[in-house]
Chains A and B, each alone.
Chain A
Amino acid sequence: MTARGKLTLGPLLFHWTAQKRRDFYFHIADEADLDCVYLGEVVCSKRDPFFEPHIEAVVERLTAAGKQVVRSTLAMMTLDREVAAARALAQTGVLVEANDVACLSEVAGRPHVVGPYINVFNEGACDVLIDGGAVRIVLPVEMTKSAVRVLAGRAGETEMLVFGRQPLAVAMRCYHARSHGLTKDGCQFVCGLDPDGLPADTIDGQALLTVNGTQTLSNGYLVLLDELGELRAMGVTHFRLSPQDMDMVAVARIHRAVLDGQRGTAEAMTQLRQLTGSIPWQNGFLHGREGLAWIERADAHA
């Protein structure tokens, strides 16, 4: 394995203010040791206009800092204007991460990234997408190690989410609005009140899910620090950090050091724990278990 593992920052899933979002990306551009940054609204097109005026400056700053920029699309499109926006983006010729099959027709025959919201669970799907011009496939979050072993490096680049809340479902309906007694059309952008998502617990008090507009995420953070080396050996080329409302530059630094073999995972995990506080860690999907589970190294190797 000669080339070093690439570290990427996935699209920001939460509805931060335009100011906070812009400052976050400027800080990432200047300070974070990342190879690639995904930019774009994945969850709700109603949020789009807020950040639109800043996109160009952010792309410029990231590019100038030597980071590859990929433009992510919505995970689910139903409105004409959403489809039109994706089409227009694809036609500019920038590298696009397609998160809805809708985009695949638009980018067919040109290099593009297939995002984690498009189901690629097997070689058959993988081959069709690569044949259509996909140069990188981001595997879905519900991916077991044995499947990664088959799919990674089949052709082109393979990316996996390794840090952050796990995206579990997308919908047309806005649960954030619903939790406030509102509907999607009259949502008042209440999702902006929760920059790291809204906790949704069970009725007997177990933390379980996080609501982010129309998206449902895990309550815990996916943490695969201990599995990075193994995934790299299987052929995973890109490792994705999903932005949470915390010091993502430090999160990137820890992952970079482990990927480069400059820091042991035990030490790295201690450092990461200081950053994530009381939020539980999860890694069950990769180990073929329930996604909310945390499998310790000793168990994982048992």
Chain B
Amino acid sequence: MSLELVCPAGTPAALRAAIEAGADTVYCGYRDCTNARNYPGLNFDEAEMERAIAYAHQHSRKVLVAINTFPQAANPGPWHRAIDHAASSGADAVILADIGVLAYATKRHPELRRHLSVQASASNELSIAFFRDRFDIRRVVLPRVLSIEQVAALVNRVGIETEVFAFGSVGPMSEGRCFLSSYMTGLSPTSEGACAPASHVSYVEDGAATRSCLGGITLNRFSQGEPAAYPTPCKGRYVTHGCASYLFEEPVALNAIDILADLRDAGVTALKIEGRQRGRAYVSEVVASFRRAIDALERGDSAAVASGLHAVAEGGRETHGAYEKGWR
């Protein structure tokens, strides 16, 4: 089986761009708190979702619907409605994280294929087995904290499909369980769907440099031309032992395009491109590059695939992240 290329769509235009560029599968979410990229101007209303699924199916591609935040107490309505609508619109699968939402989907729509979101933070065999056995999960999106060896070991043991991140940001924290952004802003990525919401981000001129702030807290200071990431708490500079550093993660992007053979040999089913918050041009460029790389791999073309993606990589630099053991 060829590696399945799973691509982001923050808008209907991005969905069409991803399909034109060679995506096998596109993932997207509703325009509300039910998905983990709840940023202004992004995502799909119900009519757009119906048209998107129809369009993808006309082109024999699949659509996965991310409903991967955690409902707040006494308000499961939006999540239930999202699942019901994804089911009635013919979505190929839903990507879920919350135990309660999983239970609802399993009971109400047993025929609707369920994937486990990275937000569920299932990073070992037993965790994946819990979700698989309890909610008949058919695919798990593995956290970005595992080495290739660990990915291969998990693939062998869990008995369901695995999807791994191939391009996007490096998430150093256990996803779905990080409260840093709400600690600084009062808005929860976990239940409201936006880490470092734009409403709380500000940039302040500071001499020849710029300070980026979240909730009024300075996360970074950088000069013109210096690589800098969007100010999420884990991409900030902090002072320990009197020295400022990128304590959690450098401003680099994950790019696994030159280790696709290793990921295929590890037995993964699908490669996930991150970036529902990015524009159509990003989607077209990244998806096309990965399409070429996967096709070359299929042909047994061992010539190195020139990536050329650093221009769209966050911070302009790239890493293999946790796939290499030295990362941690």
List residues of chain A with CB under 8 Å of any chain B CB. Answer: 75-80, 82-83, 86-87, 100-106, 117, 119-129, 140-142, 144, 146-147, 149-151, 166-175, 178-180, 183-185, 198-206, 208-209, 211, 216, 218, 284-285, 288-293
* CB-CB under 8 A for A179 and B240, given A125-B99, A184-B328: yes
Known: A77-B127, A101-B127, A185-B325. 4 other contacts (CB 8 A): A78-B145, A119-B99, A185-B328, A293-B186
In Å, the complex CA distance between A149 and B188 comes to 18
In Å, the complex CA distance between A142 and B181 comes to 11
Q: Is B296 an interface residue (CB 8 A)?
A: no
In Å, the complex CA distance between A185 and B240 comes to 20
In Å, the complex CA distance between A140 and B191 comes to 12
Q: Is B219 an interface residue (CB 8 A)?
A: yes
Check B247–A78 contact: CB distance below 8 A: no
Check A83–B125 contact: CB distance below 8 A: yes
Check B71–A146 contact: CB distance below 8 A: no
Point out the residue from B74, B100, B241, B327 that lies within 8 Å of A125, measured CB to CB: B100
* CB-CB under 8 A for A200 and B239, given A121-B191, A169-B177: yes
Residues of B near A149 (CB, < 8 A) are: 73
Q: List B residues 41-92 near A (Cβ within 8 Å).
A: 70-76
Check B100–A122 contact: CB distance below 8 A: yes
In Å, the complex CA distance between A104 and B128 comes to 11
Residues of A near B133 (CB, < 8 A) are: 105
Check B124–A123 contact: CB distance below 8 A: no
Check B124–A100 contact: CB distance below 8 A: yes
Check B218–A292 contact: CB distance below 8 A: no
The CB with the most chain A CB atoms within 10 A, among B102, B131, B145, B240, is that of: B240
Check A203–B73 contact: CB distance below 8 A: no
Check A284–B186 contact: CB distance below 8 A: yes
Q: Is B103 an interface residue (CB 8 A)?
A: yes
Check A124–B180 contact: CB distance below 8 A: no
Q: Is B184 an interface residue (CB 8 A)?
A: yes
Check A129–B99 contact: CB distance below 8 A: yes
Check B71–A124 contact: CB distance below 8 A: yes
Residues of A near B74 (CB, < 8 A) are: 122-123, 146-147, 150
* CB-CB under 8 A for A202 and B219, given A83-B125, A179-B241, A289-B186: yes
Check B72–A169 contact: CB distance below 8 A: no
Residues of A near B217 (CB, < 8 A) are: 202, 206, 208
Residues of A near B239 (CB, < 8 A) are: 200-203, 205
Check A173–B130 contact: CB distance below 8 A: no
Point out the residue from B76, B146, B178, B326 that lies within 8 Å of A122, measured CB to CB: B76
In Å, the complex CA distance between A285 and B174 comes to 20
Check B71–A122 contact: CB distance below 8 A: yes
In Å, the complex CA distance between A129 and B98 comes to 12
Q: List B residues 86-138 near A (Cβ within 8 Å).
A: 97-104, 120-127, 129-131, 133-134
